[in-house]
Structure 1
Amino acid sequence: MRVFIIAGEPSGDRLGGALMAGLKALHPDITFEGIGGTEMQAQGLTSLFPMDELSVMGIAEILPKYRALKARIRQTAQTVINTAPDVMITIDSPDFSLRVAKLVKAASRIRTVHYVAPTVWVWRPGRARKMAKVIDHVLALFPFEPPLMTVDGMVCDFVGHPVVAEQQATDAQAAAFRAQHEIGDAPVLLVLPGSRRGEVARLGEIFGQAIAPVLAQHPDLRVVVPAAGPVADLVIEAVASWPVAPVVLDPRTTTLEDAGQIKRAAFRAADVALAASGTVSLELAAAQTPMVIAYKMNWMSFHLIKAMALVDTVTLVNLVSDTRVVPDYLGPECLPDDIGAGLLRVMADPGAQRAAMDVTMERLGAGDDAPGLRAALAVLARLPPKGQADA
């Protein structure tokens, strides 16, 4: 069996590596071609070109590379057509992936699978119908996505979210983290201002000010900030003006493996977290850390998105658990005093959030087969019989 598999960024590479491992376990004679990073290469992939050529975000970053990206799209599609694999699997990165799929479908009957459904449940539900023109099968991370994606002959399987397979720190490791930083029994506030420079720039001051009312009621409060490597310098600069000196976890000062262990221990040791909106809410839920979510964006962008939004919250724990127990402060509501008050309420009564976190992890596949294996089973189960091409 031959598989052409494409990922365009590190998160997709991790999904791809786990999927490839699952496919190899189920089909030992499988061979892979495609584009991927270190995780996929560790499973035997020789990347057609470096994956980081595709890891660009935003109009300002994409425009200078537009012609080069178009050339890579054509090159990738033609390689798929020429090699005629049993299936092509694209992982997230829809701007690249779906353009490749369009060219492949126009010239062949190769089966196409896309891993990570677009967020049609947030806005632009018409994307599913448009996607169905070039994709045969979708692998979804969230249990509520399949009914939204099953249009025009496209099928969709929920395969579990990768967060349920991630290693978690033990209570002993959390205690060791507290001891190392001389925290003792003091309450710990974890602050996560984002992994992009723009996020840290917009949220750093606001998050610092939001700490003040919490500190007023909990003068022994300790603050821990796990910084993402690319923005660590900016985080260190931002926290210099905060009302309490935080412990900044800088991943550049240690190995990748050790940095991950330290971060997991910090998550487990924290009493509450303040985080930028994103998938970090699921990481916190997996660690059983109660949270408040906040995000600041351009005024016009916020109101355009709000006008098109199909949901009343962007926090994944709220959506998956079908609750609204995690406070989120977005756009013009991202105000320090309100965020601080929200943190105090969560600290006083975290029980409802912890119950919602349990529901979230269960619904995302905790206790079931690993998502990579479930994704592999879904791909193989949906393949047409050998020699029978897709219609």
Structure 2
Amino acid sequence: MSARPLRVCLVAGEASGDRLGAPLIRALREELGDRGLEIRGVGGELMQAEGLHSLFPSDELAVMGLFEVLPRLRAILARMDETAADVAAWAPDVLLTIDSPAFGLRVARRARAACPGLTTVHYVAPSVWAWRPGRARKMARYTDHVLALLPFEPPYMTAEGMTCDFVGHPASRLPRPSAEAQAAVRAQIGAAGRPLLCVMPGSRRGEVARLAAPFGEALGLLAQRHPDLAVVLPAAAGVADAARELAAAWPVEAHVLDPRGLDPAEAERRKFAAMAASDAALAASGTVTLELAAMRVPQVIGYRVNPLTAVIARRLLKIDTANLLNLLLKERAVPEFIQHFLVPAKVAAALDPLLGPGPARDAQLSAADRALALLGRDGEPPSTRAARSVIAAAARGPRRG
């Protein structure tokens, strides 16, 4: 008699978690084979395309910053309660929270209180190496196992009693689109034979709103040096309208790629083709920095948060870089302009040498190769490693004591 299907409740609170969750669902099905997989929870378009019926639209939770969340706090807390109650009612074998720890880990705490025998796994170790190291001890009260994307993270988790596997970062294995796919995107936006800049101001509404003005001013200055500059903006579905509206005020026309209405997989392919076709990129910090590295696109990073959030963050942060490539390599491989250092003239000056051949471009591409190797580029796919780790955690069950 075969074992019953593995029941996994997945909770991904924003676009980054959705991108991790979709391939993980596929890998779980592959690893489980005839046993089968049953899923439910919260996710975005990519996870829904893999068969997840989301309790509510996950982009409701895409808020970042201590003060930015306040206007939506009541609604977010209600969604936490709703999600935890659904987990308790369904009683899965595993609750798998993905990224977005402010939401996911609170759901895990509530669900564990209602179901003491529940196995809890968190995918993407919280960045306790950057700020608030006490979070690891706190989450250990209701988290059994952690899947880490960065190679130096497991010791922070195991020191507090959780088990933790480094599974690799999915960005390290992203295939670079073909020359034909890149040429097709360039032709679509009228950028054939022109310098092309990819602009990615984030997947959250607040990010796009704060970065639109300085990014636009930097583009205007860059266009003075490159009059035939073309700009492409692959927008996240939840901010596509805002991105289009704000980009309309830029001094350089931006071709906004709206993923809505496309099959999610096709939208992802078009996004990566646009990135790979670009000569350089201006982006917000986050996972996109690694995706650009995988597409072999040199980049400049700019970021701003609410000023009050920034004041508090400066007191809490233990690192001096917001860029994952710089963090991994322990060097300033990628120029970054954060908060009041986000000066358009300096951003344009940093982008200028990246648009064509030269030592600045070569140095970034070399750094990207080294960083991707550290993230597991040459091992098994991260989704496969993550799936095996989740299945093993389910077999062990919750920690005791």
TM-score (norm 1): 0.87
Given residue 12 of structure 1, which amino acid in structure 2 is its aligned partner? Answer: G
**Residue 356 (str. 1) matches residue 367 (str. 2):** yes
Structure 1's consecutive aligned runs of 4 or more residues displaced over 6 angstroms after TM superposition are none
* Cα deviation, residue 170, structure 1: 1.3
For 1:373 and 1:220, the matched residues in 2 are separated by 44
1:4 corresponding residue in structure 2:
8
Q: Secondary structure at the match of 2:334?
A: coil
Higher deviation after alignment, 129-138 or 28-37: 28-37
Quote the Cα distance in structure 1 between the aligned partners of 2:304 and 2:87: 38
1:62 to 73, 80, 105: 73
Partner SS for 1:251: coil
2:119 is the alignment partner of 1:111 = yes
Q: Is the 8 A contact 1:164 1:286 kept in 2?
A: yes
8 Å contact from structure 2 (residues 196, 280) kept in 1: yes
Could you tell me which of 21, 26, 36 is aligned with 1:21?
A: 26
Shift of 1:100: 3.8
Q: Structure 2 unaligned runs (5+)?
A: 64-68
Q: Distance in 2 between matches of 1:21 and 1:236?
A: 33
How far 1:385 sits from its partner (Å)?
A: 5.9
1:233 equivalenced with 2:241 (yes/no): yes
Residue 370 of structure 1 aligns with an amino acid whose one-letter code is P
What is the DSSP-based 3-state SS (H/G/I as helix, E as strand, rest coil) of the residue aligned with 2:198?
Answer: strand
Whether 1:75 and 2:79 are equivalent positions in the alignment is no
SS at match of 1:128: helix
1:1-391 map, 5 Å: 2-9=6-13, 10-28=15-33, 29-37=35-43, 39-40=46-47, 49-50=55-56, 52=58, 55=61, 57=63, 58-64=69-75, 66=77, 68-69=78-79, 71-79=81-89, 83=91, 85-106=92-113, 108-252=116-260, 256-347=264-355, 348=358, 349-382=360-393, 390-391=400-401
What SS does the corresponding residue of 1:27 show, helix, strand or coil? Answer: helix
Answer yes or no: is the 8 Å Cα contact 2:175–2:294 preserved in 1: no
Percent identical residues = 42
Q: 1:45 to 1:270 in 2, by over 3 A?
A: closer
Q: Look up the SS of the partner of 2:61 in the other structure.
A: coil
What is the Cα deviation at residue 138 of structure 1?
0.4
Following superposition, the deviation at residue 280 of structure 1 comes to 1.2
Q: Is the 8 A contact 2:9 2:41 kept in 1?
A: yes
Choose 51-60 or 26-35, whichever is displaced more: 51-60
Shift of 1:74: 4.7
Tell me by how many angstroms 1:294 deviates.
0.4
For 1:303-340, what per-residue CA distance to the aligned partner results, in whole angstroms no more than 9, with x for missing partners? 22122111111111211233211111011111111111
Instruction: Report the Cα distance in structure 2 between the residues aligned to 1:98 and 1:16, rounded to whole angstroms.
Output: 16
- Alignment length (residue pairs): 385
TM-score, normalisation: structure 2: 0.85
Alpha carbons 2:96, 2:123 under 8 Å: kept: yes
